[in-house]
Amino acid sequence: MARRKKIYEGKAKILYEGPEPGTLVQYFKDEGMVAEAGGPDIVEGRGVLNNRLSEFFMTGLNAIGVPTHFIRRINMREQLIRAVEIIPLAVVVRNFAAGAMTERLGIAEGTALPRPIVEFYYKDEALGDPLVTEEHVIAFGWAGQQDLDDMVALALRVNDFLSGVMMGVGIRLVDFRIEVGRIWEGDFQRLIVADEISPDSCRLWDMRTGERFGKDAGAADPSLLSEAHAEVARRLGVLPTNVTHSTKPTLIN
Ligand code: ADP
Ligand code: MG
């Protein structure tokens, strides 16, 4: 059997050549960052949950007309996606103050922001993904003004959708990040949501208890991360409710 071609291996995912031109297979590993703990970590079952949750969110976005790269899930750890030209920026939307914003601006953690705030971070690991302004983005040619406007609009639509879905299961969407990519359709190009949308790319706090379920869940104890991810999946109905920490993730469909 011919071996498929590996295109890229990152911290959390591997990209393989897809079955048709313009497609890729995205494989979700169990590795990734435990955000506040400051390093990469392997959390058993994380890749399975992120694959399934990213499918859940992106399918919902596609259904309401917010374009994403997601085509279909292939198996527990893999999904078929459209290949895009990634814009080298992480687009972050914040609804409540947390993380870098509290450190940089001295705003108390959990403060409700007067409106969602969209930020751009230059994707360069060696530099620590620094916060950049639209001026930097345009001057250095990472994206154009129209791209920036489209990215803000896209990110705010994702924010409204995700906030609503999360609120429905008692979870506050504190902030999240997406990556955006360019695709060509004939002579036209447009920007679509790429990469992943999962608890690893969101801060998610229980609306009642404040318990953390997203990327900051493992700050105190990385072993809690997979249980937190599983809780999000259970509440959203993509995992059976009786799965416990000791059981490996089981998909409903
Ligand atoms: P990293 O360690 O660089 O964050 P990941 O482990 O998250 O990498 O792997 C995903 C990589 O694939 C990222 O570099 C991301 O920008 C890229 N990517 C995500 N979606 C697409 C897509 N649809 N087409 C091409 N590249 C993509
Ligand atoms: Mg990544």
Determine the residue of 121, 195, 215 to mutate for testing ligand 1's pocket, defined as the one with the most ligand atoms within 8 A of the Cβ atom: 195
Q: How confident is the model at residue 122 (pLDDT cuts 50, 70, 90)?
A: very high
Average of pLDDT values for 188-197? Answer: 97
pLDDT at 247 over 80: no
**Is the Cβ atom of 212 under 6 angstroms away from ligand 1?**
no
Q: Ligand 1: distance of its center to the CA of 111 in Å?
A: 31
Determine the residue of 5, 86, 121 to mutate for testing ligand 1's pocket, defined as the one with the most ligand atoms within 8 A of the Cβ atom: 86
**Is the Cβ atom of 179 under 6 angstroms away from ligand 1?**
yes
Average of pLDDT values for 204-229? Answer: 87
Nearest-10 Cα torsion for 61, 234, 90, 159? 50
Q: Look at residue 27 in the predicted model and tell me its pLDDT.
A: 98
Average of pLDDT values for 81-104? Answer: 97
DSSP states of 43-97 as a string? Answer: -TTHHHHHHHHHHHHHHHHHHTT--BSEEEE-SSSEEEEE--EEEEEEEEEEEE-
**Is the Cβ atom of 71 under 6 angstroms away from ligand 1?**
no
Would you give the DSSP letter of residue 241?
Answer: T
Q: Ligand 1: distance of its center to the CA of 24 in Å?
A: 11
Q: What domains are defined for the chain?
A: 6-83+221-235 (3.30.200.20), 85-206 (3.30.470.20)
CA dist 92 and 170 (Å) reads 22
**Is the Cβ atom of 11 under 6 angstroms away from ligand 1?**
yes
Q: Ligand 1: distance of its center to the CA of 14 in Å?
A: 8
- Residue 40, SS3? strand
Q: Under 8 Å CB-to-CB from 174, ≥6 apart: which residues?
A: 94, 95, 96, 98, 110, 202, 203, 204, 205, 214
> Could you tell me what percent of the chain has a pLDDT over 90?
80
pLDDT at 250 over 70: no
Nearest-10 Cα torsion for 209, 95, 99, 102? -100
Ramachandran category for residue 65: left, alpha or beta (phi over 0 → left; psi -120 to 50 → alpha): left
190: its two tokens: 């447009």
pLDDT at 246 over 70: no
Average of pLDDT values for 98-119? Answer: 97
Q: Ligand 1: distance of its center to the CA of 207 in Å?
A: 31
Residue reference for tokens 């008692």: 170
Q: Look at residue 142 in the predicted model and tell me its pLDDT.
A: 98
